[in-house]
Amino acid sequence: MIDQPDPAAPSQAPPPAAAPATARRSPLHDEHVALGASFTDFAGWQMPVRYSSDLAEHHAVRSQAGLFDISHMAEIAVTGAGAAGFLDHALAGRLSALAVGHAKYSLVLAESGGVIDDLIVYRRADDDYLVVANAANRDAVVAALTERAAGHDVVLDDQTDRIALIALQGPASAAILAETPGLEIEALESLRYYAYSDGAFGWGDARADVMVARTGYTGEDGVELYLPAEHAPALWRALLAAGQPHGLVPAGLAARDTLRLEAGMPLYGHELGLSIQPSQAGLGRVVVTAKDDFVGKAAIERGPGDDAPVLVGLAAEGRRAARAGYPVMSGEEVVGEVTSGALSPTLGHPIAMAFVHPDHAAPGAVLDLDVRGSRIPATVVALPFYRREA
């Protein structure tokens, strides 16, 4: 048996016999080792791909809760009197309109209108934002922001190495947070989706500020907890202990990928990239063209062209999943390409996202997936594949 790792996947199997000597480690690395995690190299970081079983971790997040270490994500503070105006210029959204205490999903566009990265922006004060970017795009985002900062009264501070990020996701999240000793969160009960609350963790001198954001990448309710790296292991252990009676398990990047795919969330390098305009990926609403000017505006106004492929969801029967790169066919014609695919653990059938020619993108259209030479019928469906019950 020889493995053909899905190029889409953050996990690659079999794992390398030894991680690259230069691999960066999360501040929670020792916790993962103690929990028996398998590791994968992801964007130069050695991160846990699974602890027990991808499926068990996936199902735990859907039914109870899962704890993810996503400390490899990049955190860039943007401060100064010109911060709001700068972000309106540098990003696709209108961040000046974001209320303090709230978060917004946004994009860094290239002049071509393609996507340099997708990110979450938190507004912590009138002149203080936190931009959270993908680990793989940290350098590209910092470079783009630095270049675009010329003439703006802002200070950029890449805090990635100092901040740990823990995601607690799943229906039991709120109960677990409430029962975690030493964790205090202001107004947790009233915390809205895409908002954050100030919190603290620890006691006495070992007490640290925690930003508790009701955001996530799994399709479940939950929070993402930002805190100083040195305090992260204690919070990780406290959450796991408090969560045990609620069925909380540590969850790795493999489960994270199947969860986000079911939730129809794009992954950079698959559904998003420099050659893809946001509207093609269903993210046209993220770009505020009513703004006076922003990087990429001219290209966005020209648009990607009528024949540009568009992102669709595809649902199939059976158990064989299409993977990234597999052709999408209509008859003998190749009309698209899969960007992410898996056997959905929650739904029990194969799902995929794919860019297809707009003539074949209407929900209900029946296409074929070319799965290593076999044709598997698949129906275009609206995204997301899975939506939690309110």
CB of 255 to other proteins, least distance (A): 8
The region of 15-23, 166-174, 217-225, 266-274 touching other proteins under the rule CB under 8 A is 15-23
Kindly list the distances between the CA atom of residue 354 and the CA atoms of 174, 204, 372, 387, in Å, as whole numbers in the listed order.
Answer: 34, 52, 16, 19
The DSSP bridge pattern shows strands 350-356 and 366-371 to be unpaired
Query: Quick check: 14 binds other proteins (CB under 8 A)?
Result: yes
Candidate residues 43, 188, 343, 381; the one interacting with other proteins per rule CB under 8 A: 343
Residue 118 binds to other proteins (criterion: CB under 8 A): no
Which residue lies nearer to other proteins by CB, 278 or 345? 345
Can you tell me which of 54, 75, 221, 271 binds other proteins, judged by CB under 8 A?
A: 54
Work out whether 1 is an interface residue with other proteins (CB under 8 A). Answer: yes
Query: Which of residues 35, 38, 247, 291 is near other proteins by CB under 8 A?
Result: 38
Q: What's the min distance (Å) between Cβ of 40 and other proteins? A: 10
Torsion (CA) 55, 59, 60, 61 in degrees, nearest 10: 110
What type of residue is 65?
Answer: A
Nearer to other proteins, 282 or 345 (CB): 345
**Cβ neighbours of 61 (radius 10 Å):** 32
As a residue count, the chain comes to 390
Stretch that binds other proteins, among 52-60, 65-73, 91-99, 296-304 (CB under 8 A): 52-60
Q: Does 12 bind other proteins (CB under 8 A)?
A: yes
Q: Does the footprint of other proteins cover residue 21 (CB under 8 A)?
A: no
Residues 307-326 that bind other proteins (CB under 8 A): 319-321, 323
How far apart are the C-alpha atoms of 109 and 11, rounded to whole Å? 27
Distance (Å, rounded) from C-alpha 308 to C-alpha 30? 46
The nearest distance, CB 254 to other proteins, in angstroms, is 5
- Identified binder of other proteins from the candidate list 50, 62, 72, 138, rule CB under 8 A: 50
Helix, strand, or coil (residue 185): strand
- Tokens 């990448």 locate to 217
**Member of 150, 292, 331, 372 binding other proteins (CB under 8 A):** 372
**What does the DSSP 8-state code read for residue 259?**
H
Closest approach, Cβ 264 to other proteins, in A, equals 17
Instruction: Output DSSP code: residue 384.
Output: P
- Region 250-269 residues binding other proteins, contact defined as CB under 8 A: 254, 257-258
Give me the residue label for tokens 């974001």.
98
- Cα of first residue to Cα of last residue in the chain, in angstroms, is 44
Say which amino acid occupies 85. Answer: G
Phi/psi zone of residue 372: left (φ > 0), alpha (ψ -120 to 50 degrees), beta?
left
Name the site residues for other proteins (rule: CB under 8 A).
1-6, 9, 11-15, 17-18, 38, 49-50, 53-55, 58, 254, 257-258, 319-321, 323, 342-343, 345, 372
